[in-house]
Structure 1
């Protein structure tokens, strides 16, 4: 059974999310696959660009999750908060340990592996094809007031009513 962690959230406008490293519905390339989880990849976050977000957007959040992870709640691979409204792109590799490609003021929360960085696709062997959902959320607030050690789940809880729009890009990986 597949599910989408965003389907039960309040309605929000849609906008466009694209990448020079990933195409909708296609297999993730080795740079976006996990080395941390032994999948033979490089843990390089993909280039992401977004446009057409709602008027009134004050900031953005970027996340990546695997809803097919063999857990009750899926697995959060990446969460970036407080991207200013005038930033509409993250370069490839922005999610490294130092956040070197992130704009001033933005930061990464610890993912479900408790690392403040992008961790690529690394489904356990034999668990089938996993979807990896990249999302950009357009927010009405200029900043998300959240502890830098908070989880992506707490982030999403805090954004339940403050999201103006959402954009998605989905890839997959299997091993």
Structure 2
């Protein structure tokens, strides 16, 4: 190999590195915020479930998002408690087919009557058996549980789901079409 070939390879490598670094630095960082809950902080009684021994308001928090990837066709929102003593966690909310132009959800959008969700969106049955938001309800004395509110920017308008999909199937389809995700993790506990 001659010096000109080595120089060309070095130049091409440097150009590739620059392009990859520039793309990584300028990539959209999808963000999720809320006026009602804060990352790493406990939620209030407003986000506690009503039932299963809990007597909260069962209101989904207000959420807003920004810095959306430009090729986003829709969103999905999931709320999951990895600390539930089930062996598989607990799905509190799955909202799919949120239109790409949507930039947030008002407080209590997850009401089971579907009156607060964006047109065209679909709430999936949670682990309480309700198609809507199901608030926090950790067992008394079980310690602090984490609640992961995760927004997924998706590459398709509508997820190809059957009428009553399982949470696992919804999660699989979200993962198969996800462009970018962001998570806001709040907590909740019920002492004895």
TM-score by length of 2: 0.82
13-22 or 92-101, which deviates more: 13-22
Structure 1 residue runs without a partner (length 5+) = 1-12
Structure 2 residue runs without a partner (length 5+) = 1-27
Name the structure 1 match of 2:140. 125
RMSD over aligned Cα atoms: 1.4
Name the structure 1 match of 2:45. 30
Q: From the two aligned structures, give the one with the greater helix fraction.
A: 2
In 2, the alpha carbon distance for the partners of 1:148 and 1:119 equals: 20
Length, aligned pairs only: 164
In 1, the alpha carbon distance for the partners of 2:52 and 2:76 equals: 25
Of 68, 79, 84, 1:64 maps to 79
Contact 1:57 1:164 in 2 (8 A): yes
Of 65, 80, 84, 1:50 maps to 65
| DSSP-derived class of the 1:65 partner | strand
Report the Cα offset of residue 68 of structure 1. 0.1
In 2, the alpha carbon distance for the partners of 1:170 and 1:35 equals: 21
Name the structure 2 match of 1:5. none
Contact 2:146 2:185 in 1 (8 A): yes
| DSSP-derived class of the 1:159 partner | helix
In 2, the alpha carbon distance for the partners of 1:159 and 1:64 equals: 13
Contact 2:64 2:103 in 1 (8 A): yes
Report the Cα offset of residue 14 of structure 1. 4.3
Moved over 6 A (4+): none
Q: Which protein is bigger by CA-based radius of gyration?
A: 2
Name the structure 2 match of 1:162. 177
Q: Give the structure, 1 or 2, with the largest relative contact order (CA under 8 Å, sep 6 or more).
A: 1
Of 93, 98, 101, 1:86 maps to 101
Name the structure 1 match of 2:13. none
Name the structure 1 match of 2:119. 104
Contact 2:32 2:64 in 1 (8 A): yes
In 1, the alpha carbon distance for the partners of 2:164 and 2:46 equals: 26
In 1, the alpha carbon distance for the partners of 2:86 and 2:29 equals: 28
In 1, the alpha carbon distance for the partners of 2:54 and 2:175 equals: 33
1:79-129 per-position Cα deviation (integer Å, ceiling 9, x unaligned)? 001000000111001101111111111010000121101110000112111
